[in-house]
């Protein structure tokens, strides 16, 4: 029999796999972000599209070049760098000068990811590292919300194309974001506006419904631990709910806290990033509660209206330690065994 | 019975595709005799048997051709009536060459099986039963190959309250135990009293996974009146057939780390082993054949065959026919089975299945790139003994073997493969752990050796 003369391969068991793969998971995260991105382009027009494209391009090119320079095979194909680019773009205000976006992308991948060893080794969410650096470097540009031109699909706010290292000029500044309005002017925004995204805010954070939809999609495919976003959102709701009950005039309602700012996007797509979060379910819940508490603390008592970014970065820093604390009890390692029945 | 609050299952585990439909309905068929059969002297854990035949000697089918050497060892019996051609080395699944007896069958012999002194389960003493099981050459037919009689001798300070007959057969593709339960339920029921008598167990539970309802029905029907035997149907989950998992699922007891089922008053015996005891002991015969699933996408005439011990894998595959794009052959199921390094390896008592894959299956759905660990935690959710395979894997890459054993319970891993199955980064975790366990054992042995010297 000729077919038995051919060389058979010897591999160690198991001989079958689940078919799950890092690149498929990452690709599906990108898919889950498509509706959010599409809405941001619809809401803010051309400038949003350019911001997202610039962020993705900067991240992909940086990763590709760094891999090449280090003599490694390029890792762009695993899609994770596309997620970083997309998330970075989605957390930036519309109308931000594109050169800043590109700087953010280079920093996100170079400093946030590659410096630590690439995918899997980055302790912090790379997109948030990029954004944090931008926030520290260009505080004005990161908190200016220009009014979108009426023909937003064919023209850009002047600030978008500002030259590097030149102070961007804004045609008109729109109202503050819902969180800033609440924090500094004690004004609240209608819940429906928050849900459907007709408010000011970063390109991708305004439409809570689409973000949740993406999260449900990923959780249903077991590509995301739903424990993390649920823990974060429940904690925020409960903590701010208690505050709101104690003094409704000073503290915003839990619904407002949940739907405003970057909480949804952060909880669903950034805190749940597998690399930076704990591995055990118990760990995920602790991590989520910690982020939730930090979000409320920073929003209510901190100097800034928004605290999601720092809360998640702090959570990332704590994740390995949480993992150490909640190592599962190994089968059969209990102190004594009860015998018989 | 299912009570509130406790499900008859264990925590974690996975649900690989069962892939059993091709063979689960196939009746057991007798396989033909190979031109030369090779009976390895070591088909079990423990000392190899001692050959008691010489070259050119004529042997009868069922005749004892090698005797047990010590307590942790069993006898071997001629799988065929024929002539001993030589005693020599044969390749084995471990990759090493081992001693074997080469037998050429007589053409045209009736191949009648030779019996011996029958043993009666009701009147024989526990000791007689234990010796008869050893003389019959019975080892765990589930694949482990541990001499069955050795675990039946219960130390004075231990006792057994439940005998668990393992019919879980949780490995994909394998249906040999399934067919044995359906077609030889009476043998299973005949075997259980021997085991109960030998161990003093007051009751026995036959555990069957829910994907084999016909087996559970056949077994229930075969229970003799008044026997303290029950059949439990468990939800399908891998690795339910692992001793630890099965006892936890059935009895809710956890075997201590490094311990045995005896430590929780249980004893686990594979269902095919039990059937073999029930078939052989009443005739005083020894094992000369076993039921094996020959399947997988690369096999043409898939099925469950009763194959002589010592039949070369090559002969089996040539007889059933294989597809041209065959790429891998392994013994046992796809989760824990070992890939064969040579097709001249003979079937042994521990061979549960011969499964052949083609390019399509071995390509892991076309993606074998190994990515870095992304800490997704899927392995942590899958590990049935609650290890942290991710951390262990990272330590393994850096050869931190001792730390793996000291801090992360490496030695508790029984290599079920769940972590590797679910890993989206395709990291060969189990293989890392095998290497690490071997290194730790070697270091321990060296430490002991130097202590002795000093």
pLDDT in tens, B77-97: 999 999 999 999 999 988 889
| Domains along chain B with CATH numbers | 141-283 (3.40.50.11540), 378-453 (no CATH)
Phi, psi of A98 (to 5 degrees): -65, -30
Question: Rounded to whole angstroms, how far apart are CA atoms B371 and A120?
Answer: 9
Question: Rounded to whole angstroms, how far apart are CA atoms B441 and B434?
Answer: 11
Per-residue pLDDT tens for B383-419?
A: 999 999 999 999 999 999 999 998 899 999 999 999 9
**Tokens standing for residue B57:** 């000697």
**Tokens standing for residue A18:** 């689940």
Task: Name the residue of chain A whose CA is nearest to B316's CA.
Answer: A4
Cβ contacts of A330 on chain B, cutoff 8 Å: 257, 385-387, 409, 412
Interface contact A331-B322, CB threshold 8 A: no
- Residues 48-107, chain B, touching A (beta carbon < 8 A): none
Cβ contacts of B367 on chain A, cutoff 8 Å: 21, 23
Cβ contacts of B380 on chain A, cutoff 8 Å: 279-280, 328
Bridge-based pairing of strands B266-270 and B162-167 is parallel
Question: Rounded to whole angstroms, how far apart are CA atoms A284 and A280?
Answer: 6
Cβ contacts of B377 on chain A, cutoff 8 Å: 225, 274, 278-281, 284
Q: CB distance from B421 to chain A under 8 Å? A: yes
Question: Shortest CB distance from A4 goes to which of B314, B374, B422?
Answer: B314
Q: CB distance from B316 to chain A under 8 Å? A: no
Cβ contacts of A81 on chain B, cutoff 8 Å: none
Which residues are CB-neighbours of B264 under 8 A, at least 6 positions away? A337, A339, B247, B251, B253, B254, B255, B256
Question: Shortest CB distance from A330 goes to which of B257, B378, B424?
Answer: B257
Question: Shortest CB distance from B374 goes to which of A8, A120, A334?
Answer: A120
Task: Name the residue of chain B whose CA is nearest to A334's CA.
Answer: B256
Q: What is the model's pLDDT at position A249?
A: 82
Question: Rounded to whole angstroms, how far apart are CA atoms B200 and A20?
Answer: 48
Cβ contacts of B428 on chain A, cutoff 8 Å: 12
- Residues 202-261, chain A, touching B (beta carbon < 8 A): 225
Task: Name the residue of chain B whose CA is nearest to A283's CA.
Answer: B377
pLDDT of B59 higher than 70: yes
Distance from CA of B440 to the nearest CA of A (A): 19
Nearest to B334 by CA among B370, B314, B361, B313: B361
Interface contact A11-B339, CB threshold 8 A: yes
Per-residue pLDDT tens for A142-199?
A: 888 877 777 777 777 877 787 787 777 776 676 678 887 777 777 777 777 777 766 7
Higher pLDDT, A205 or B369: B369
Phi, psi of A162 (to 5 degrees): -55, 145
Task: Give the number of beta-carbon pairs within 8 Å between A and B.
Answer: 190
Residue ranges in chain A modelled with pLDDT below 50: 1, 335-341
Interface-testing mutation among B253, B371, B388, B392, with chain A (most A C-beta atoms within 10 A): B371
The full 3-state SS of chain B, as one line of letters, equals: CCECCECCCCCCCECCCCCCHHHHCCCCEECCCCCCEEEECCCCCCCCCEECCCCCCEECCCCEEEECCCCCCCCEECCCCEEEEEEEEEECCCCCEEEEEEEEECCCCCCCCCCCCCCCCCCCCHHHHHHHHHHCCCECCCCCCCEHHHHHCCCCCCCCCEEEEEECCCCCCCCHHHHHHHHCHHHHHHHHHHHHHHHCCCCEEEEEECCCHHHHHHHHHHCCCCCCEEEEEECCCECCCCHHHHHHHHHCCCCCCCCCHHHHCEEEEEHHHHHHHHHHHHHCCCCCEEEEEEECCCECCCEEEEEECCCEHHHHHHHHCECCCEEEEEECCCCCCEECCCCCCECCCCCCEEEEEEHHHHCCCCCCCCCCCCCCCHHHHHCCCCCCHHHHHHHHHCCCHHHHHHHHCHHHCCCCCHHHHHCCCCCCHHHHHHHHHHHHHHHHHHHHHHHHHC
Interface contact B254-A334, CB threshold 8 A: yes
Task: Name the residue of chain B whose CA is nearest to A120's CA.
Answer: B374
Interface contact B431-A9, CB threshold 8 A: no
Q: What is the model's pLDDT at position A340?
A: 35
Which residues are CB-neighbours of A98 under 8 A, at least 6 positions away? A50, A51, A54, A160, A161
Decide if B395 contacts A340 (C-beta within 8 A). no
Q: Cα A22 to chain center, whole Å?
A: 18
**Tokens standing for residue A167:** 């102070």
Cβ contacts of B386 on chain A, cutoff 8 Å: 328-331
**How is chain A split into domains, by residue range?**
21-174, 175-323
> Is the peptide bond preceding residue B356 cis, with omega within 30 degrees of 0?
no
Decide if A337 contacts B263 (C-beta within 8 A). yes
Which residues are CB-neighbours of B125 under 8 A, at least 6 positions away? none
Sign of CA dihedral A324, A329, A331, A332: positive
Which residues are CB-neighbours of B193 under 8 A, at least 6 positions away? B121, B122, B227
Q: CB distance from B417 to chain A under 8 Å? A: yes
Q: CB distance from B450 to chain A under 8 Å? A: no
Interface contact A16-B421, CB threshold 8 A: yes
Decide if B189 contacts B219 (C-beta within 8 A). yes
Task: Name the residue of chain A whose CA is nearest to B335's CA.
Answer: A14
**Average pLDDT of span B234-244:** 94
Q: What is the model's pLDDT at position B365?
A: 45
Distance from CA of B433 to the nearest CA of A (A): 11
pLDDT of B353 higher than 50: yes
Give whichever of A148-152, B116-120, B144-148, B227-231 has the largest mean pLDDT: B227-231
pLDDT of B129 higher than 50: yes
> Helix, strand, coil shares of chain A as percentages rounded to 5?
60, 0, 40
Average pLDDT, chain B: 91
Interface contact B16-A19, CB threshold 8 A: no
Interface contact B254-A337, CB threshold 8 A: yes
Distance from CA of B43 to the nearest CA of A (A): 20
ipTM: 0.87
Cβ contacts of A9 on chain B, cutoff 8 Å: 327-328, 339, 362
Question: Shortest CB distance from A11 goes to which of B257, B318, B328?
Answer: B328
Cβ contacts of B16 on chain A, cutoff 8 Å: 16, 18
Q: CB distance from A280 to chain B under 8 Å? A: yes
Interface contact B374-A330, CB threshold 8 A: no
Question: Rounded to whole angstroms, how far apart are CA atoms A330 and B244?
Answer: 13
Interface contact B376-A25, CB threshold 8 A: yes
Interface contact B330-A277, CB threshold 8 A: no
Cβ contacts of A6 on chain B, cutoff 8 Å: 326
Interface contact A1-B317, CB threshold 8 A: yes
Q: CB distance from B410 to chain A under 8 Å? A: no
- N- to C-terminal Cα distance for chain A? 57
Sheet strands side by side (includes B29-30) = B29-30, B303-308, B289-295, B353-358, B326-331, B338-339
Q: CB distance from B283 to chain A under 8 Å? A: no
Q: What is the model's pLDDT at position B344?
A: 93
Q: CB distance from B312 to chain A under 8 Å? A: no
**Residue-wise DSSP of A201-245:** S-TTTS-HHHHHHHHHHHHHTTSS-THHHHHHHHHHHHHHHHHHH
Q: CB distance from A160 to chain B under 8 Å? A: no
**SS3 label, residue A83:** helix
State the virtual CA torsion across A157, A159, A160, A161 in degrees, nearest 10: 110
Q: CB distance from B172 to chain A under 8 Å? A: yes
Task: Name the residue of chain B whose CA is nearest to A20's CA.
Answer: B424
**Tokens standing for residue B222:** 């075969």
Nearest to B72 by CA among B47, B92, B103, B109: B47
Per-residue pLDDT tens for B266-322?
A: 999 999 999 999 999 999 899 999 999 999 999 999 999 999 999 999 999 999 999
**Please, what is the angle between helix A22-44 and helix A80-90, to 10°?**
20
Q: What is the model's pLDDT at position B149?
A: 94
Distance from CA of A14 to the nearest CA of B (A): 4
Q: What is the model's pLDDT at position A151?
A: 78
Question: Rounded to whole angstroms, how far apart are CA atoms B139 and B126?
Answer: 18
Interface contact B377-A280, CB threshold 8 A: yes
Interface contact B430-A21, CB threshold 8 A: no
- Residues 111-130, chain A, touching B (beta carbon < 8 A): 117-121
Q: What is the model's pLDDT at position B2?
A: 43
**Average pLDDT of span B136-158:** 90
- Local structure of residue A302 (DSSP, 8 states): S
Residue where the block lists tokens 């002969």: B315
Q: CB distance from A335 to chain B under 8 Å? A: no
Question: Rounded to whole angstroms, how far apart are CA atoms B340 and B332?
Answer: 10
Phi, psi of B230 (to 5 degrees): -125, 160
């Amino acid at each position: 029999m000729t077919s038995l003369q051919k060389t058979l391969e010897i591999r160690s068991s198991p001989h079958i796999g689940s078919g799950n793969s890092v690149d498929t998971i990452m690709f599906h995260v990108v898919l889950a972000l498509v509706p959010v991105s599409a809405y941001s382009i619809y809401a803010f027009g051309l400038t949003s599209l350019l911001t997202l494209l610039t962020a993705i391009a900067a991240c992909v090119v940086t990763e590709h070049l760094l891999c090449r320079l280090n003599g490694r095979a390029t890792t762009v194909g695993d899609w994770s760098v596309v997620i970083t680019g997309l998330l970075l773009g989605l957390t930036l205000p519309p109308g931000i000068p594109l050169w800043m976006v590109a700087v953010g992308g280079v920093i996100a991948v170079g400093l946030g990811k590659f410096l630590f060893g690439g995918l899997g080794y980055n302790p912090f969410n790379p997109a948030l590292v990029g954004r944090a650096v931008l926030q520290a470097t260009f505080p004005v540009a990161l908190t200016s919300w220009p009014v979108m031109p009426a023909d937003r699909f064919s023209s850009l706010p002047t600030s978008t194309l500002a030259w590097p290292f030149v102070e961007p000029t804004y045609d008109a500044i729109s109202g503050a974001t819902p969180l800033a309005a609440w924090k500094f002017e004690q004004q609240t925004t209608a819940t429906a506006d928050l849900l459907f995204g007709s408010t000011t805010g970063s390109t991708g954070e305004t439409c809570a419904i689409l973000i949740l939809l993406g999260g449900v999609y990923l959780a249903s495919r077991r590509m995301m631990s739903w424990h993390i976003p649920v823990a974060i959102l429940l904690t925020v709701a409960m903590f701010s709910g208690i505050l709101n009950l104690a003094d409704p005039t000073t503290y915003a309602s839990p619904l407002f806290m949940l739907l405003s700012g970057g909480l949804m996007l952060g909880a669903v797509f950034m805190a749940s990033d597998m690399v930076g979060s704990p591995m055990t379910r118990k760990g995920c819940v602790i991590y989520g509660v910690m982020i939730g508490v930090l979000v409320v603390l920073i929003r209510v008592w901190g100097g800034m209206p928004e605290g999601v970014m720092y809360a998640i970065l702090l959570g990332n820093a704590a994740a390995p330690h949480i993992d150490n604390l909640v190592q599962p009890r190994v089968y059969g390692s209990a102190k004594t065994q009860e015998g018989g029945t | 019975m299912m009570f509130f609050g406790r499900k008859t299952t264990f925590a974690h585990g996975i649900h690989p595709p069962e892939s059993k439909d091709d063979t689960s309905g196939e009746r057991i068929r007798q396989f033909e005799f190979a031109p030369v059969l090779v009976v390895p002297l070591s088909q079990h854990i423990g000392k190899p048997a001692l050959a008691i035949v010489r070259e050119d000697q004529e042997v009868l089918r069922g005749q004892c051709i090698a005797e047990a050497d010590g307590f942790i060892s069993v006898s071997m019996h001629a799988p065929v009536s024929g002539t001993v051609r030589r005693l020599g080395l044969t390749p084995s699944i471990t990759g090493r060459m081992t001693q074997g007896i080469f037998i050429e069958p007589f053409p045209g012999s009736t191949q009648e099986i030779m019996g011996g002194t029958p043993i009666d389960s009701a009147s024989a003493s526990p000791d007689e039963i234990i010796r008869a099981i050893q003389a019959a050459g019975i080892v765990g037919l589930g694949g482990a190959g541990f001499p069955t009689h050795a675990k039946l001798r219960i130390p004075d300070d231990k006792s057994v309250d439940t005998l668990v007959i393992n019919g879980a057969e949780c490995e994909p593709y394998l249906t040999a135990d399934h067919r044995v339960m359906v077609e030889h339920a009476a043998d299973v029921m005949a075997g259980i009293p021997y085991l109960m008598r030998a161990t003093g167990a007051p009751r026995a539970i036959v555990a069957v996974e829910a994907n084999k309802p016909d087996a559970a029905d056949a077994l229930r029907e075969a229970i003799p009146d008044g026997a303290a035997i029950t059949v439990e149907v468990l939800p399908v989950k891998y690795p339910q057939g692992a001793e630890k998992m099965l006892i936890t699922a059935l009895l809710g007891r956890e075997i201590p780390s490094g311990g045995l089922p005896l430590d929780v008053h249980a004893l686990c015996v594979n269902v095919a082993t039990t059937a073999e005891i029930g078939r052989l002991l009443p005739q005083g015969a020894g094992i000369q054949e076993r039921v094996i699933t020959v399947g997988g996408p690369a096999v043409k005439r898939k099925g469950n065959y009763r194959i002589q011990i010592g039949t070369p894998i090559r002969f089996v595959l040539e007889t059933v026919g294989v597809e041209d794009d065959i790429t891998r052959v392994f013994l046992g199921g796809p989760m824990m089975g070992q890939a064969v390094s040579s097709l001249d390896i003979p079937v042994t008592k521990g061979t549960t299945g011969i499964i052949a894959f083609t390019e399509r299956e071995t390509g892991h759905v076309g993606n074998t790139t190994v990515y870095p660990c992304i800490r997704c935690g899927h392995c942590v959710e899958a590990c049935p003994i609650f290890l942290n395979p991710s951390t262990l894997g990272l330590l393994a890459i850096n050869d931190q073997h001792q730390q793996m054993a000291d801090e992360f319970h490496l030695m508790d891993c029984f290599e079920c493969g769940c972590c590797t199955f679910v890993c989206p980064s395709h990291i060969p975790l189990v293989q890392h752990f095998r290497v690490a366990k071997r290194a730790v054992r070697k270091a321990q042995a060296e430490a002991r050796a130097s202590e002795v010297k000093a």
